[in-house]
A and B are shown apart, each in its own frame.
Chain A
Amino acid sequence: DAGVIQSPRHEVTEMGQEVTLRCKPISGHDYLFWYRQTMMRGLELLIYFNNNVPIDDSGMPEDRFSAKMPNASFSTLKIQPSEPRDSAVYFCASSRASGSYTGELFFGEGSRLTVL
């Protein structure tokens, strides 16, 4: 079975440019998460969706970040305009709930973003 697929794997851009990260979750999973990982702060939840609906976006740093999930098989995380402090590895993860949420997170390989 295909796992969570993210693209691009690496992105180098200049400050002020728009960045779009993409994610295809595992088929049948009803939760999708976007995380950011840095050496200083570890893994931080940015936003998560349940059945394509954004449930908690309190982790989104500021208005420059936005995320969408137009259908069950695709999600995007957009940064506009990008800043050097956005440099990090962005992970998408999906999960399948069973009753109360205790689902295992299945992570993609991550998108390493460098903003110059």
Chain B
Amino acid sequence: KNQVEQSPQSLIILEGKNCTLQCNYTVSPFSNLRWYKQDTGRGPVSLTIMTFSENTKSNGRYTATLDADTKQSSLHITASQLSDSASYICVVSAGSSASKIIFGSGTRLSIRP
């Protein structure tokens, strides 16, 4: 069964600190993995996409990693800001079907001043 599991469920850190969010997936065949950021009351927005051959990709203070062998991805946030408070959702696409887009349950990140 295709599944995406994220940890932790929630996280509170102080402004300026770094954090890492985890995503484990059992999806086959793997197509790509995206991290989305969802602000409260808004729709999710894509932060980064990882394909099978990519290990690391950065988008400003966000750095995503992918280990295709262990089927794990992480999202590292550097020097957190209050605006980083949001839910972060790991999304894995299986094969070429648009219906095989598997969503994780998300990590709720809160940044405290």
Contacts and interface: CB of A to CB of B under 8 A. Distances in A.
Contacts, number: 60
B46 A104 contact: yes
A42 B106 CA distance: 8
A43 B101 CA distance: 11
Nearest to B45: A107
Contacts of B49: 102, 104
A110 B31 CA distance: 27
Kindly state the interface size class of chain B when it binds its partner. 20 to 34
A110 B43 CA distance: 6
Interface in A41-64: 42-43, 45, 48, 50, 55-56, 58
Contacts of A116: none
B1 interface: no
Contacts of A105: 36, 44, 46, 91, 101
Interface stretch (B13-21, B56-64, B69-77, B92-100): B92-100
Interface of A: 4, 31, 33, 42-43, 45, 48, 50, 55-56, 58, 91, 93, 95, 97, 100-105, 107-110
